[in-house]
Amino acid sequence: MTRLRPQPAERIDRSKPISFSFDGKQVDAFEGDTIASALLASGRKVMARSFKYHRPRGELGGAAGSGTALVQVGDEPGVRAAARLVVPGLRVEHQNAWPSLDFDVMRATDKFGGPFTPVGFYYKTFIRPRRMWPVYERVLRKAAGLGRLPARQHERLWETEYRRRHCDVLVIGGGLAGLSAALRAARMGADVVLCDEDVEPGGALLAEGRHEHVRARADEARAAGVEILAGAPALGYFDGLVPIWQGDTLHQVRARQFVSATGALEQPLVFLDNDLPGIMLAGGARRMAALYGVAPGTTAVVATVGDEGLEAALGLHAAGIRIAAVADLRPDAAARPAAERLVAAGVELLPATTVVRARGNSAVERVVLARIDGAGRALPGSARELHCDLLAVSGGLVPASSLLLQAGARSHHDAATGRFLPGALPPGVHAAGAVAGHPAGAAELAGTAAGASAAVALGLGGQKARRELQEARALLDACEPAAPQAPVPACAHDGRGGGKAFVDLDEDVTVKDVRRAADEGFDVIELAKRYTTVTMGPTQGRYSQLPSVRVLADHTGRSLADVGLTTARPPWSTVPLGALAGRPIEAAKRSALHARHRELGATVRWAGDWRRAYDYGDPEAEALAVQETAGAIDVSTLGKLLLRGPDAGELLDRLYPNRMSTLRPGRIRYGVLLSEMGRITDDGTVCRLDDETFYVTTTSAGAAAVERWFSWWLTDWGLDARLTDVTQGTAAINLAGPKARDVLAAVTPLDCSNAAFEYLEAKHAEVAGVPCLLLRIGFVGEVGYEIHCAAPQAQRVWDALFEAGAAHGLRPFGLEPQRILRLQKLHVLIGQDTDSESTPYGAGMDWTVKLDKPQDFIGRWALEHAAERDPAHALVGFSVPGGRIPHEGAVVTVGGMPAGQVTSARRSPKLEQTIGMAWVPHELAHDGARLTISDAGTSFDAVVTTKPFYDPEGAVLRS
């Protein structure tokens, strides 16, 4: 293979030679070459091996959407050779072949594996014995892989950029129709984005002699403000959002109007051994010649069913490639103007003829042309064999309507043109050019009309614009329809044995496979698709949808219209999963003390949407320190709401089952929040700061939900109160332990004595010079103070506490020791020990419910009914003789049957035993009852307790 003489439209720069490697060997190329064009120019036709049969494959379409030549580029598998530009030093390798691309031992699958690999062979050949499936699976995966990912996860990093782009009009497709649409809409004042999967806009006309016109149009569009995304396929249409993948960027485009100008896809012909390298779509071969100056063959045969193949033959001939013959299936082909030009150029034209077989070892060497009967069989005596090293085929055009169909359009088969066309379009969606069935000569007019239509729909342009739009539509309606094409056989053949005829080169699906699927009952296109995987490969059915429909229609005796198309689904173009996975940055909340925890060596884990200190290396020692000296834990994650106004107390009385309006300023009360069904949803403390101001804390996980709950009812009841969520800006430190009072007293002028600062009291005081709110409460069961301050001052307070606490043995403790400590007190952790069915009565929290208070409150009705009988289950404490620690969720059994579950369990270093909480049948909810816990395949006993394990009377807390 050689380079052609410089071509007028070529996009390579011959003054800039570059080189890259393919399978370790240097390949010379020019700047602007794709991998496929450079390999073809170097003489390499075999670029890949097929998915199932490991047959040699070359470049079929010569365009970005083509998927037969997939290669490995560095660590990136499945790269389309026709879509990736070469750069100096690029390392390209073949994939799916061993030991080499030219000699692949797995080719034996093709030669000898036929009986073992029929369609659906996964479900047939490898179904028995069932236990062997894991072995089969490994072998099959290794044999059928398409490239390889790096072995280690950290080497698979994708650095995809995400970009949100709003625009007025998104035009998908950069051919003449798309460019015209974009230009018109932009000139009418719209903000327009245009995307095209090729490396430059222009579409098919770039290679068809009108490159100057479309390139000028692209320049005009840019000048008009159109943002052109090249090398950027649209992946799908998601209710108005169109993701567009461009190299390392995923554009998420939201437009008010969409114009699809995605053109039409030239289809391959189906005949025996139609997958040999050297067989290309006619348009693809022409692109290679025109845009890259590459001769994909020295002697070509062209087989076509319409004018497109004739035009391609003319183009190849003009580029300097010898055309041995042109077979046009249309009986009247000679009357076509392009045919006349071909004949005038000395090219032999064979009307009513097509290709029935290709021959060659690793690439096409000869082709058999023949006249065929209605079933695609060669007529006796009509076969003629020609030598060639390029077979350019053109099996008609299929509108690339997938995105329109995803947007809600329905396709129908147009008998006049023999094409599936999109029908009525949904609002805000427009189509222009070949995708809409417009003839090639009307692309510019169709695009201009679509662009104007989109702009008018946006309210742009005046009466004149509307009038021009009407005129353009009228002209469009008056255009000649697209040129007719010959009815295409499902499969043309010479009636002899041997060879495979493929309908899907991506998935190695043959005509025989589709027929067999229909015979086995999968005779609906959607079922046949799933059974055979036809259209499910990298090209997403671009080149296999119509051939498979033709085969199914032919085999089942139905029309193409009756068989129809499969449902169009994203992605329209393949995209690495890594590109869709998002940036590897987690949306995390961190307290103002986070840096201190890191410095102290904390194990940081997720707790809801917070990153929290789980422990500082030794949770049991941290728990002991809290009970023997003092500990401090960052509880800034607690939800914190400020409620102000004359009706603030009234609101709280209606939301909590106990009385909050009776709190005196400076006092604190615990409360649970209930659903209307009387189930516990959250808990926390309420502190009255002054007559009209309450400070409410919630669980860390429940903060947002409680804020919404309060806001909802505040609005609904129309009470005079204002709510502000101060969670994120307010830090809180829980200082607890026998020495806590001493530590606190060292950093505040406040009288911290028990007489001056009682349990469940709140005080305003400076700590280390920082104004703070101090709450004397004790979730961990020791004398404790929650110190609340503005987050920007939290480090100052924390540092001061530890400076003062050094002499008292103060140490930080994390979530895990906190859980041990609260379990000793049987303090319930909402969401951990309760679920959506838990009432205060079942949870042993009767004391939080005041049914005698005058106000109605959320959940009252349900609790009144619940109070009439004992709950079926109760939350109790338990200890486990022997020290075994059950898993949370372990089953409590009675008589061998499940009767409850463990919600929490830990080893208490203070008590030197395993303690926990569990829901048990009510009859077992008494001190000393024996439980059986079934956990991880074994059962063991536990003993029930209903009182806290530590300080059951609360004397320590109040001391």
Q: Which residues bind other proteins (CB under 8 A)?
A: 161-166, 191, 225, 227, 252, 254, 583, 585-592, 594-595, 610, 636, 642, 644-645, 689-690, 693, 720, 722, 724-730, 764-766, 768-773, 788-793, 795-796
Residue 580 C-beta: closest distance to other proteins, Å: 15
Looking at beta carbons only, is 634 or 683 nearer to other proteins? 634
Distance (Å, whole) CA 398 – CA 311:
17
Residue 18 C-beta: closest distance to other proteins, Å: 26
Residue 166 C-beta: closest distance to other proteins, Å: 4
Looking at beta carbons only, is 726 or 829 nearer to other proteins? 726
Residue 634 C-beta: closest distance to other proteins, Å: 12
Looking at beta carbons only, is 577 or 587 nearer to other proteins? 587
Residue 817 C-beta: closest distance to other proteins, Å: 23
Angle at 523 between CA 266 and CA 111, to 5 degrees: 70
Which residue is listed with tokens 């069913």? 305
Residue 696 C-beta: closest distance to other proteins, Å: 13
Distance (Å, whole) CA 604 – CA 612:
5
Distance (Å, whole) CA 665 – CA 648:
13
End-to-end CA distance of the chain: 94
359: which strand partners? 366
Residue 708 C-beta: closest distance to other proteins, Å: 12
Residue 358 C-beta: closest distance to other proteins, Å: 48
Looking at beta carbons only, is 764 or 930 nearer to other proteins? 764
Contact 843, 871 (CB under 8 A): no
Looking at beta carbons only, is 258 or 271 nearer to other proteins? 258
Which residue is listed with tokens 């509108």? 399
Which residue pairs from 531-536 have beta carbons closer than 8 angstroms and sit at least 24 positions apart in sequence? 531/119, 531/120, 532/119, 532/120, 532/504, 532/507, 533/504, 533/507, 533/509, 534/503, 534/504, 534/507, 534/509, 535/504, 535/566, 536/506, 536/507
Total number of residues shown for the chain: 959
Q: Is 859 left (phi over 0), alpha (psi -120 to 50) or beta?
A: left
Looking at beta carbons only, is 112 or 606 nearer to other proteins? 606
Looking at beta carbons only, is 512 or 644 nearer to other proteins? 644
Strands (E), 881-959: 891-894, 897-908, 913-921, 930-935, 938-945
Give the phi and the psi of residue 595 in degrees, each rounded to 5. Answer: -60, -35
The pair of structure tokens assigned to 742 is 């001493």
The pair of structure tokens assigned to 663 is 């709190």
Looking at beta carbons only, is 406 or 727 nearer to other proteins? 727
Looking at beta carbons only, is 168 or 816 nearer to other proteins? 168
Distance (Å, whole) CA 874 – CA 945:
12
Looking at beta carbons only, is 480 or 716 nearer to other proteins? 716
The pair of structure tokens assigned to 45 is 């036709």
Looking at beta carbons only, is 337 or 646 nearer to other proteins? 646
**Which helix H or strand E contains 512, and what residues bound it?**
helix 511-519
Residue 655 C-beta: closest distance to other proteins, Å: 19
- Judge if the upstream peptide bond of residue 268 is cis by omega within 30 degrees of 0: no
Contact 544, 534 (CB under 8 A): yes
Contact 169, 192 (CB under 8 A): yes
Looking at beta carbons only, is 527 or 726 nearer to other proteins? 726
Contact 922, 935 (CB under 8 A): no
Residue 768 C-beta: closest distance to other proteins, Å: 8
Contact 824, 949 (CB under 8 A): yes
Looking at beta carbons only, is 325 or 772 nearer to other proteins? 772
Residue 760 C-beta: closest distance to other proteins, Å: 18
Alpha helices in 729-859 (DSSP H): 740-745, 794-805, 815-824
Distance (Å, whole) CA 761 – CA 205:
82
Residue 241 C-beta: closest distance to other proteins, Å: 9
Closest-CA residue to 491 (of 478, 506, 503) = 503
Closest-CA residue to 412 (of 628, 564, 610, 251) = 564
Residue 799 C-beta: closest distance to other proteins, Å: 10
Residue 252 C-beta: closest distance to other proteins, Å: 7
Give the phi and the psi of residue 41 in degrees, each rounded to 5. Answer: -65, -30
Looking at beta carbons only, is 254 or 473 nearer to other proteins? 254
